[in-house]
Structure 1
Amino acid sequence: MQRKGFQAIVLERSEQLRDGGAGLHIWTNGVLALDHLGLADEVLKTAPAQSVCHFSTWRGDSLGAWPVGEFTDRYGRPTIAVERSVLHGILLNALQDDPVRLGAHVAAFTQDRTGVTVRLTDGGTVRGDILIGADGVHSRVRSGLLGSQAPRYTGYIAWRGQAHIEHPLIPPGSFNALFGRGTRFTYYDVAPGTVHWMSVANGPAGGRDEPGTVTAELTARHRGWTAPVRDLITATSEAEIIRSDVQDRRPDRRWGSGRVTLLGDAAHPITFNIGQGACQAMEDALVLAERLETAGGRPEAALRAYEKERRARTAPMQRVAWWIGRMGAVENPVAVRAREAFMRAFWNTRAFPAAEKSQVAYGTRWSTTAEPAGPTTAHS
């Protein structure tokens, strides 16, 4: 928004911007979005570029291998993995005039013909021309627009961790998604000596782990799985393992009203199954800025145009991610064998070309039009 000449205020409910957290898988379309902002090279100083994404059974037998390294030749930028905190830090450092207000809890908002007023839980108010709700799957702005609707629970839980380890089976740029009966394990390196991993298992929502039991439970769940699964779990401090119920929403026909709209998970939460959540949030932001820049003083029309374009882009991904998640969650041995046969037959020949065409190639709209990295002087 600043690069387009708009003055933005970010209301962040956290009291401080934390380090650590999960890793992010950023497909080439997301890296092209970062490149458009002039930030891709800074991210690539740390983030490993991937050459092949492997998909395997829990025993280590191959189900597919996607040659994502070819994207660099075709689109000019690789597919990568990066620590969430690293990406957040780079984005934050690119901002001018420190627009982030920490500890700002949104209570409600009202709008009129000239702008939007946000009321905070501490009694304060903030006024702006428009309001963009980018506050996640449990968005307060979304509730104000569309009503209080609980997200959809997928039926499975994710345990995410980061292992600080050098491992002979994890060269730079690794990615492997392993499938078992009702459980999965995915890992990829996000920096030299740092590997993000995720264990996924079916179960009821709302559960909690007893302190001191998580490592034993995860190693028991993945007993007998191919290396380096056990090594990654045992190399991770329990303090760095995060448990969360995996949630999403069905695609919505409406994201906004008047001078208010939604962005990212607030608008279209996409499960991790296709690795496009962060990519789509960045694409949202670029498209929204483009629409506002050419609005000609008609912000409401710009928001509706943004929503129309982005709904068409993200709704199919929400559906695909949901169904891949259901496929990954099967427990019946017959269904597991059917999944393995399906993936061996079609994961390379059909799924990979489809993912490139429907998800990655879109990023070419920004591949030759990098935004200048300098400060802006015009404000709305």
Structure 2
Amino acid sequence: MKTKPVALIIGTGIGGLSCAAALKKVGWSVRLFEKADSMRATGSGLSVMSNASAAMKKLLDIDLGLEHYGAEIRNFEIRHKSGFLLKRLPFQEIAEEQGSPSVCISRQQLQTALLDNLGEVDIRHAKRFASYDETDDAVHVTFEDGSKASGDILVGADGYYSAVRDAMGIPSQVQEAGYICWLALVKYDHPQITPGYVVHYWGKGKRIGIIDIGGGWVYWWGTANMSNQEAVGWSGTSADVAKVYEGWPTIVSDIIHATPNEAIITVDAKDRSFPATWSKGRATLLGDAAHPMLTSLGQGAGLSIEDSAVLGHVLSTSTDHQAALRRYESIRQPRAKAIVDASRALSDVEQYDQFLPRLKRDVGMLLAPAKTMRERLQASMLFDDFAVHAQ
């Protein structure tokens, strides 16, 4: 009886679990290793745009069913800080065209959805990656506790501070964005927050988003320009955050004040320089370990899932694992870089604090033709499986 090939996956975040689901689907044995002593998901939310579910469905016939765990986007608005509506974006229409929903969801629920899809799987906790080496027919990982594991390939899905990336000798420099992000989940009821509702308010060097994630829960995030050093050292309360948005629509202050201080997560906004390569020999990178990005396009989770679908696809079509990893990289890098660059460019525009650039931004959004807005969104939200099969 032929033995299944084995993938060693470092990290059990969105990328690691998605990768495990994809490789398990195509007949691989997967072993996941997590440095924490249990499965954890921070108390915030995110979006999984339609391209992610479409990639899994089209390439691997995996239906993630995320709409059963979160809230499908039905109404996405961009508003001025005064409350004036600048634009409704056609997220739902694009998702329906692709046949896969765009979903806003808590990290906890997304983790649950991926684990439900995975079923029985080998996950080892308290395993902090230390190093790896290769032989002619295998890759061997050593953990900080001295234990070892061997497999056919190694996947670094261990996030922004990837130890696997460092061990591979792939340089990736921190790029600070110059603003703070506040993230929170709160149980909150408001007539403006209808099922599948998303609104982003834009102001002077600051933004805030309010998002339905289902079950009466709302995910909100806010940003404000400051140095990354100030952001790292920021310590305040929900009342302090609310002061940042003084004079904005009452829903903004109401939802912030309704949030317990301990429920607010603070991070400094940053991404990394885009690596020239993700793969070496039997090792490769996936998700934030390969291409961390700013959040403006809401595609961090989606690209991790896309990566996983493509990796599963190429490994199912070749017995030469190293060649498959190189093909995976060649397929994924152009799209990932385009979205990373677009996310940073949009972030810069959204965080404008000078009057004239802000005026141009807001008027441009107000007057942009529907066709133009649709084309811009489609660039990231439509997954092209034909391009994958062509390579």
- 1:208: how far off? 2.7
Q: Which runs of 5+ in 2 are unaligned?
A: 1-22
Instruction: Give the 3-state SS of the residue equivalent to 1:69 in structure 2.
Output: helix
CA offset digits 1:136-164 (Å, max 9, x no partner): 11101111123454421111111101121
Picking from 306, 330, 336, the partner of 1:314 is 336
The answer to whether the 8 Å contact 1:165/1:193 transfers is yes
Residue 20 to residue 141, structure 1, CA distance change in 2 (3 Å): closer
Say yes or no: does 1:131 pair with 2:167. no
Aligned-residue CA RMSD in angstroms?
A: 1.9
- 1:294: how far off? 1.2
**Match in the other structure for 2:3:** none
Q: Which moved more, 1:137-146 or 1:344-353?
A: 344-353
**Match in the other structure for 1:31:** 53
The answer to whether the 8 Å contact 2:47/2:105 transfers is yes
Q: Distance in 2 between matches of 1:140 and 1:200?
A: 29
Q: Distance in 1 between matches of 2:356 and 2:341?
A: 24
Q: Distance in 1 between matches of 2:274 and 2:234?
A: 32
Give the residue type in structure 1 aligned to 2:234. Answer: D
**Match in the other structure for 2:323:** 301
Give the residue type in structure 1 aligned to 2:358. Answer: V
Q: Distance in 1 between matches of 2:42 and 2:153?
A: 32
The answer to whether the 8 Å contact 2:72/2:102 transfers is yes
Give the residue type in structure 2 aligned to 1:318. Answer: V
Say yes or no: does 1:98 pair with 2:125. no
- 1:171: how far off? 0.7
**Match in the other structure for 1:247:** 270
Picking from 192, 216, 223, the partner of 1:193 is 216
The answer to whether the 8 Å contact 1:30/1:363 transfers is no
Q: Which runs of 5+ in 1 are unaligned?
A: 367-380
Say yes or no: does 1:360 pair with 2:384. no
Instruction: Give the 3-state SS of the residue equivalent to 2:228 in structure 1.
Output: coil
Paired-residue identity, %: 27
Instruction: Give the 3-state SS of the residue equivalent to 2:194 in structure 1.
Output: coil
Picking from 209, 233, 241, the partner of 1:208 is 233
Q: Distance in 2 between matches of 1:178 and 1:364?
A: 34
- 1:52: how far off? 2.4
Say yes or no: does 1:10 pair with 2:32. yes
**Match in the other structure for 1:237:** 260
CA offset digits 1:176-195 (Å, max 9, x no partner): 11111111101111112100
Within 5 Å, which residues of 2 pair with 1:1-380? 1-19=23-41, 21-33=43-55, 35=57, 38-41=62-65, 43-147=66-170, 149-206=172-229, 207-210=232-235, 213-295=236-318, 297-346=319-368, 348-356=370-378, 358-362=379-383
Query: TM (normalized to structure 2)?
Result: 0.87
- 1:258: how far off? 0.6
- 1:34: how far off? 5.1
- 1:364: how far off? 5.9
Give the residue type in structure 2 aligned to 1:285. Answer: S
